[in-house]
Amino acid sequence: MNYPMYAEIKGKQYKLNTDYRTGLSCFEAIDDDIADVERTLAVLGLLYQDEIPDDCYEEALRIASVFLQCGKQKKEHDNAPLDIDFDYDKDLISASFMSDYHLDLSTEEYMHWWKYCSLISGLKPDSILNRVRDIRNYDLSEVKDPKDKQKVVNAKKKVELPKKRTKEEQKAIDQFEASLKSKEE
């Protein structure tokens, strides 16, 4: 399969850093506790190898978003809870790749981001990553027996993804910490 290597912006091609590690770094920057402008510049700096003209940032970011979603536009009504976090689940991903594909990610020189995501999608249902994702997605309403339900609840707690703060929550924490610092001075 031919994976994209360039972004075309205003008739000019810009080389992309397409290795899966770059995609992972982009998601780390997206999840980082930094301002939106810094987050945008971080993603663009990681993903594009060539300098992007100042008047093209919006288009470059749109293309970056589509690239990081493997060519798929996110649907506005798609608010399903996440069942995977690339960073938090990296050991599960690595173990699943080793088990299913006999592929050691730590020794891979290069793998395109889209291939990496395709391989995750193609993992066997009984891979460790998919078993954990199944637990995360398990519908508790299907369990009638209280003892069994408690077991599922406990299993879900063991494998749940860490909670991420909303921008409003982080802003409130930042304001609180700033007020503490000003009182110390």
Give the per-residue pLDDT at 119: 97
What letter represents residue 2's amino acid?
A: N
**pLDDT, mean over the chain:** 88
User: Which is higher by pLDDT, 21 or 181?
Assistant: 21
Domain extent at residue 50? 6-68
Residue whose token pair is 């995609």: 23
Task: Answer whether residue 120 shows pLDDT above 90.
Answer: yes
- Do 51 and 12 contact (CB within 8 A), yes or no? no
Give the per-residue pLDDT at 69: 95
Give the per-residue pLDDT at 117: 97
Q: What percent of the chain has pLDDT over 90?
A: 69
Q: Is position 126 within any domain?
A: no
Report the alpha-carbon distance of residue 150 to residue 171 in Å, rounded.
36
Q: Which residues pair with 163 in a beta bridge?
A: none
Q: Is position 163 within any domain?
A: no
Residue whose token pair is 């360039």: 6
Give the per-residue pLDDT at 53: 72
**Mean pLDDT confidence for 133-155:** 93
Task: Answer whether residue 108 shows pLDDT above 80.
Answer: yes
Least confident of 59-68, 114-123, 171-180: 171-180
What pTM did the predictor assign? Answer: 0.82
Give the per-residue pLDDT at 179: 62
As for how many domains the chain has, the answer is: 1
Q: Is position 134 within any domain?
A: no
**Mean pLDDT confidence for 175-184:** 60
Q: Is position 48 within any domain?
A: yes
Q: Is position 172 within any domain?
A: no
Q: Is position 77 within any domain?
A: no
What letter represents residue 168's amino acid?
A: E
Residue 136, classified by CB atoms within 10 Å of its CB into exposed (0-12), middle (13-18) or buried (19+), is middle
